[in-house]
Structure 1
Amino acid sequence: MTGLAGKIALVTGGSRGIGAAIATRLAQDGAAVAITYQAAAEQAKQVVAAVEAAGRQGLAIAADSADAASVTGAVARTVAELGRLDILVNNAGIFPYGPVEKVSLAELDHTLAVHVRGVFLATQAAVRHMGPGGRVINIGSCFAERVPYAGVSLYAMTKSALLGLTRGLARDLGPRGITATVVHPGSTDTDMNPADGDGADHERSFIALGRYAAAAEIAATVSHLAGEGGRYITGTAIAVDGGFAA
């Protein structure tokens, strides 16, 4: 156990990839876990089954992180059905890619809505229910620290915003005993960015360890921050990127 026995967690975007690994790991370490998903209902059911197989209560909530009411509603439903909320993991994300001059206003607004506004609103709603020992863990990106090639300006900008938010939250929430951190994953082997996909060898060339992360490796750090190991860590970013930003 990592001090998560009896804790209640909400992981946004928890039906796939890193989010699914985080939800499963938190359950294995003792927490009941709610996840949000947008379209992957069957995958969400599988994650809930994995949570329940660990002996914990699971809950899947259909929610669009770009929609304000959907975001805050997911927090409210978690509290209503699981009893309270101790850990919020803001993981939901998208990956816009392309030349900056071709980014449309709609794409800009949607990415900001998912990566920035949705995170802020989920956090704002969640911390109303958190007491001392509460955790806000934002999932950023290695591109917030280093951008070695073109096409990711919008993505990097929105993920970089999470560090400013996290630092502010540390000051706002510290007096209440609630911590806020951001985890910056590097290239991680998921269906969104498979280790054998197009361009994977190019990405590996920037990684000091020369390989993609497994989603479970990101989840291990999140669980550490959510548990007793994270009690005195706040207002900072932790890179789990294999040396991408070294």
Structure 2
Amino acid sequence: MSAEQRVVVVVGAGPGVSGSLARRCAADGWAVGLVGNDEAALEDLASTLVPARVERRVADVSDPVTGGGAVADLARRLGRIDLLHVNPSAYREADPLHLGVEELLDDVRLGVGALLVAVQAAHPYLHPGSRVTVTGSMAADEPSAAAASLGVQKAGVRNLVRSLDTTLAPEGVRAVSVTVRGALAREGTFSHDAVAEAIWAAAHQEPGDWRAEVSYPA
């Protein structure tokens, strides 16, 4: 890999928005690292990224040892991280009267904790100009009572992104969450490719006009 080649590491990689973002980066000549808990999904995604260099690891992305270790291992092999994208969240059909505390904590561990795990593991490989992006959701502001933990996750991860952006900014590293204000679809404004393009654009904001949260559509 040349010293100039950029690297994206996608945490919680799969066939949706994260896969579209991986393909967007690969098409621009980036090397790609994929971390997820479904080996078949990672293999399928990797097959769509040819001829880009692709490294993948199967891991529990919310676990500091296995998930953090996977991110760090990919970064060592690829040499750097220019874009770290964190995608996972848990969808559980349970309203607040039926959602157990341990269920809520398990979901937050994935939907928020995975970001913490990924950034802490990636930090030694970030550099001035590196960016951290997160797939956000309007559920942070308009939660569905039928899936109460999702709104908690999305509000929490957006809050954590703001803290990370403030913490990392002196190093020249910025973080942003893209709040998707609509339901994902196969085509149109909320297609996986369209949302991935919005995440790409958010990662390429001008530093002087940086916002730690971007709504899509604007």
Per the normalisation by structure 1, the TM-score is 0.79
What is the alpha-carbon distance in structure 2 between the residues aligned to residue 15 and residue 138 of structure 1? Answer: 14
What is the alpha-carbon distance in structure 2 between the residues aligned to residue 117 and residue 232 of structure 1? Answer: 29
Which stretches of structure 1, 4 residues or longer, exceed 3 Å deviation after superposition? Answer: 229-235
Match of 1:128 in 2: 124
Alignment of 1:162-177 (within 5 A): 162-177=157-172
Structure 1 segments unaligned to the other structure (5+ residues): 196-210
- Report deviation, 1:230: 4.9
Contact 1:97–1:155 (Cα < 8 Å) also in 2? no
What is the alpha-carbon distance in structure 1 between the residues aligned to residue 210 and residue 5 of structure 2? Answer: 22
Match of 2:215 in 1: 239
What is the alpha-carbon distance in structure 2 between the residues aligned to residue 212 and residue 110 of structure 1? Answer: 31
Match of 1:12 in 2: 11
Structure 2 segments unaligned to the other structure (5+ residues): none
Contact 2:79–2:125 (Cα < 8 Å) also in 1? no
- Report deviation, 1:112: 1.2
> Could you tell me which of 87, 93, 103 is aligned with 2:89?
93
> Could you tell me which of 181, 187, 190 is aligned with 1:213?
190
What is the alpha-carbon distance in structure 2 between the residues aligned to residue 180 and residue 30 of structure 1? Answer: 22
Instruction: Name the % identity.
Output: 23
- Report deviation, 1:160: 0.5
What is the alpha-carbon distance in structure 1 between the residues aligned to residue 145 and residue 197 of structure 2? Answer: 30
The superposition leaves residues 30-72 of structure 1 with CA deviations (integer Å, 9 ceiling, x where unpaired) of: 3211111212x2331122122223xx21112101123221221
Task: Indicate how the Cα distance of structure 1 residues 235 and 125 shifts in structure 2: closer, same or farther if over 3 A, else same.
Answer: farther
Matched, 1:77 2:73: yes
- Report deviation, 1:129: 1.6
What is the alpha-carbon distance in structure 1 between the residues aligned to residue 73 and residue 209 of structure 2? Answer: 28
Match of 1:203 in 2: none
The superposition leaves residues 146-186 of structure 1 with CA deviations (integer Å, 9 ceiling, x where unpaired) of: 23x42132110111112221221222111111111001223
What is the alpha-carbon distance in structure 1 between the residues aligned to residue 35 and residue 167 of structure 2? Answer: 26
The superposition leaves residues 185-220 of structure 1 with CA deviations (integer Å, 9 ceiling, x where unpaired) of: 231126xxxx8xxxxxxxxxxxxxxx7611001110
- Report deviation, 1:233: 5.0
- Report deviation, 1:130: 0.9
Per the normalisation by structure 2, the TM-score is 0.89
What is the alpha-carbon distance in structure 2 between the residues aligned to residue 212 and residue 106 of structure 1? Answer: 36
